Each structure stands twice: as structure tokens, then as C-alpha cells.
Chains A and B, each alone.
Chain A
Amino acid sequence: MINLQNVSFSYNNEKVLSNISLHIDKGEFTAIIGSNGAGKSTLCRIMNGLLKPSSGTVTVNGMDTRTTKSSILARHIGFLFQNPDRQICKNTVGEEIRFSLDIAFTDKSMIEKRLFETLSLFDFDADSNPFHLSRGERQQVALASIIAAEPEILILDEPTTGLDYVECMKIMSIIKKLNDKGITVIMVCHDMEIVLDFAQRILVLAEGRLIADGETREIFKMEEILRQASLLPPQIARLAARFGFDDVFYVDEMTDIVLKRIKNRRKRTG
């Protein structure tokens, strides 16, 4: 699907990404984590062809991003920006979603079908003004207009920033459903709880270098790597580590261990 070979990127003579090689397969849910300025957003822009690598090659479904226009790559990759206001340009939610559909499809019946499906999925009123909605709702409108076009790959640049818990979970559950249907998801995220709950694979960036690439639980066990990237594992994992329990990342796992220990102690004390 997406293949990066020795990719480096410099901006104003400053190296933002250096020598990154990775491969992302169809259907993967990958999270990109790292501190601010680590190069996460740049890596995403490199993947969808908005930025061309200074050296190395990036291919998406076999297409070299250096020679393929971003607007052509957009048929394969949907990109959700952190700020939905940069994307929304129509006066109603229905028009906004239709705008994306008009670009992606030519068949009018298909456009109507996808419009209806998308509005239902997000429970939107087609006539509402997107500029009068809350930030979380505008983020949902932006996401809706992207997924309406049925991209094979979804790149999300901090999709949950500034959202409350309910809005965040609504967006993430929709993304999860899409991933379950086989859509590849690449997500930049600062919330380690969300990363742990949804991502299968993590790419850790620090100062433009890919310092770790692996399965989610394995990465969260690598304290030194997380320290290098100025990150902390989820709170429950840190609490478990203090009690000497390894490989505990969820409240349920922690509860099971604690209850088991209490039972054992009761048995021993009679």
C-alpha cells in the first residue's frame, strides 16, 4: 500500500525527516506518535504527496508521489487535517459532502446513495450550516466528506485534538468501523489511551528519525524509546509498572490481577 524507502525531507536547509523506511499494508491501523516537532505531520504530508521527499522514494499503491499529482493520489488517500475549518467551504453539510462526492464519482445515483449513507452514519442534518456547528461537529463534517469518497487509505492528523470525550469516541468508533471493513488507517495522535485502544501498530518519531516501529503493546513496554520521544505510556500501565506488574495496559487487566492477588491472600490467611 504505502512504501517509504530512505525518505528524507528538508525545509529551509533544516532536516525535518531523515532516512525513514517503512511499509504499511492494507487494513492496518497505524499510529504515529512523537513529541511536537518530531516530524509526524510532515511524514503524513509526505505520504499523501503534498510534500515531495528531498531524497528517497514514496509509493502509494505503486504510484510514486514525486511523479503523481496530489489530486490524483487523493482518490486513494483521504486526509483529515487537524483544523476542519481549512477544509469546509460550503454553506450546508449536505453540499460539503456532495462537493467531495462530485470529485470522486461521476455516477449521479452513486453520489446520492453515498450522500444518504454518509449523512445517516454521522446522523447529520443535511441543511445545517457547518460554520454554526461546534468544533467537534465540524471535525465530523470534515471526516464525513472525506470518507464519503471511499478512500482506501485514511490519514488522520490529530483527529481528536480539542474534542470532548463523547465527540472523540464517536469519531474513533467510526474510524474503527472503517478499519474493520479493510480501510488502512494512519493516525497521528498525542493521546496514548486512544492509541492503545485503537492502533495495532505504532511508529515512534523523534527529531525526524523513526526510532521504533512495532506492535502497540510491545512499543509501550519500551521505556527508553518512549523517553527519547518525550512520551509516557498510559497511566494504568505506569501504575501497574510501579506495582511490578508487566504487560498491563488496561483497567480491566489491572483489576483482574489485583482481585486475583486479594483472593490468593485471603486463601493463605484462611
Chain B
Amino acid sequence: MKGFFDYVPGSSYLHRLNPLTKLLLALMICIAAFISANHLFLVMLIVLNLGIGAQAGIFTRSVMLLKGLLKLCIIIFLLQVLFIRDGNVLVKLPLNIFITDGGISSAFMVVFRLVTATMPLALMLSITQINDLSNVLVTKLRIPYPYAFALTTAIRFIPVFANEMTGIIEAQTSRGVQLDTRNIFKKIKLVLPLCVPLLITSVRKIEGSAISAELRGFHLRTKNSCYKKYAVNINDICVIMISVVIVGSAILVNSIF
């Protein structure tokens, strides 16, 4: 997932929205994904996510994100198909395992929900500067600054740690550790000990960041320290209405089908 949470500069319609509106849109799409039990509606939400990516000029990243989720989706799909036994039996397998139509339907549902709920937050973070998100949480939602800072720092550190892990994997591969194996189980077994260097570097980085923040007057900051104003304009109202319509549609589709 390296790079998926990095901010992509731009001046698109979505870029210019209030960070709170973008957060609301992302959350509403997630909520709609969990409310809806209709496969077609979930596919439409995935297409909507891709559309959002295209509008914000990050369509390639949206597709890459989809590809990144694909491996996880395949694992979840197989687990669902093999262990859910509702419905009619379609295929009988050894070890008393059988595939049912209910299992397949449930597997698709879980996979679609996973994709639909993951994409909007990643896309929202790609088009929102992390400082703006932090400021809007403090000024508009009245969240105490230390908590908003903790949340945004955690998000900011995701690509940093992903980069660090890549470096660790490279360092260990260079020593002859077979991390370039295609055997997923062997790879997991080899990756686990690498959590030690990752943990050590993470703790060192966090300690450094904490000292740096304190030296720059972290505790002196109040909600009035932010000079930027985050106004809600007509564009924001339109997007908020669209968000409500999305959730409403999910409820409506659920009640009809």
C-alpha cells in the first residue's frame, strides 16, 4: 500500500472541497457499502469510487489501489467460498468441503464491501492535506488537538513505515534471506522476525518526532492557533447532499430487493 496515502497536489473540484466534506463523503460511501446487501449497488459504488479518482486526477492510483486490494480479496473470497455452507451445493470437494451458491454470493458481497469501504478513505487522504484534516478536526469538530495530531500522525507515518519495511526487506534479501520466494507461507515465516528492526526504527522515529514537536511548542497550541479558515460553500453543500442521497439509495435498494 506504499504511496496510496500520500497527498497528490491538484486543483480539481474535489481538491477544493472543505476537508470535512471530503471526510463526510468518504464515510457515507463506507456506510452505504455496509447498509447495502445488493451486489449491483456495491459494484456501482466501486465505479463511483473510480469516478471520484478520475475527477480528482488520480485515476491511475485508484486502479492501483484496486489491484493492491485484489490479493487480499482473493484470500477472503476463497475462505468465504470454502467455509460458508448456506444454499445449494454446487461442487463437492474432498475433506467434506463443498461450494454452495450461498457461499459464492456471500464471498462476492464481502469482497465488494471490502473494496467499496477501503477505497474512499484512501482517495480522500490522497486529495486532502494532512494538516488541513488535522485543523478541521480541531476547529470544526472540536476534537482536542493532541488526539487530532495523533490521528493525523498515524496516517502520515503509514508510508514512512511502509518505506522502512521495504528497506528492511531489501537489507535482509541482500543477506541471502529468501524473502523473494513465491511461497507465501515461507515468506510470512521469514517476514515475522523483521518486525524487530521495524519496531526499533519506528520507536526511534516516534521518539524523535515527539521531541521535535515538544521543542516547537506542541503544548502551547490551542484551537485558535490555526490561521486557515475552512468555509462551507455551495460546492460542499452539493457534495453533502450527494452523500446523503448515496446512503438513502442504499437503504432504498435494500428495502426493494
Give A contacts to B, CB under 8 Å.
Answer: 45, 48, 50, 69-71, 74-75, 77-79, 81, 83, 85-91, 99-100, 103-104, 131, 145-146, 149
Contact = CB atoms under 8 A, between A and B. Distances in A.
Interface extent on B, as a size class?
Answer: 20 to 34
Contacts of A88: 197, 200
B197 A71 contact: no
A89 B199 CA distance: 10
Contacts of A70: 173-174, 180
B179 interface: yes
Contacts of A86: 164, 167-168, 170-171, 197, 201
B94 interface: no
A87 B201 contact: no
B175 A87 contact: yes
23 contacts: A48-B174, A50-B174, A69-B178, A70-B173, A70-B180, A71-B173, A71-B176, A71-B180, A74-B174, A75-B176, A81-B170, A85-B197, A85-B204, A86-B164, A86-B167, A86-B171, A87-B168, A87-B171, A87-B172, A89-B196, A100-B175, A131-B200, A145-B175
B181 to A, nearest CB: 8
Contacts of B172: 87, 89
A100 B197 contact: no
**What is the interface of chain B mostly: helix, strand, loop, or mixed?**
helix
A83 B174 contact: no
A45 B197 contact: no
Interface of B: 164, 167-168, 170-181, 193-194, 196-197, 200-201, 204
A50 B173 contact: yes
Nearest to B190: A71
B176 A87 contact: no
Contacts of A146: 175
Contacts of A87: 168, 171-172, 175, 197
Most buried by A among B174, B180, B200: B174
Top 7 A-B residue pairs of the complex, sorted by shortest distance between their CB atoms: A74-B176, A79-B174, A103-B176, A86-B171, A87-B171, A71-B178, A70-B173
A83 B168 CA distance: 10
Nearest to A48: B174
B175 A81 contact: no
Nearest to B173: A70
Contact of B194 (A83, A89, A100): A89
Nearest to A77: B174
B207 to A, nearest CB: 13
A88 B196 CA distance: 8
A48 B170 CA distance: 10
Most buried by A among B164, B179, B193, B200: B200
Contacts of B170: 45, 50, 81, 86
A89 B193 contact: yes
Most buried by A among B164, B171, B175, B200: B175
Contacts of A69: 178, 180
Given A81-B174, A99-B175, 19 more contacts: A48-B174, A50-B170, A50-B174, A69-B180, A70-B180, A71-B173, A74-B175, A75-B176, A81-B171, A85-B204, A86-B164, A86-B170, A86-B201, A87-B171, A88-B200, A89-B193, A89-B197, A91-B196, A145-B175
Contacts of B193: 89
A100 B200 contact: no
A83 B164 CA distance: 10
Nearest to A75: B176
Contacts of A100: 175-176
A71 B179 CA distance: 8
B173 A74 contact: yes
A54 B124 CA distance: 33
Most buried by A among B167, B170, B171, B176: B176
A99 B176 CA distance: 10
A85 B194 contact: no
A85 B200 contact: yes
Contacts of B194: 89
Nearest to A51: B170
A78 B180 CA distance: 17
A71 B177 contact: yes
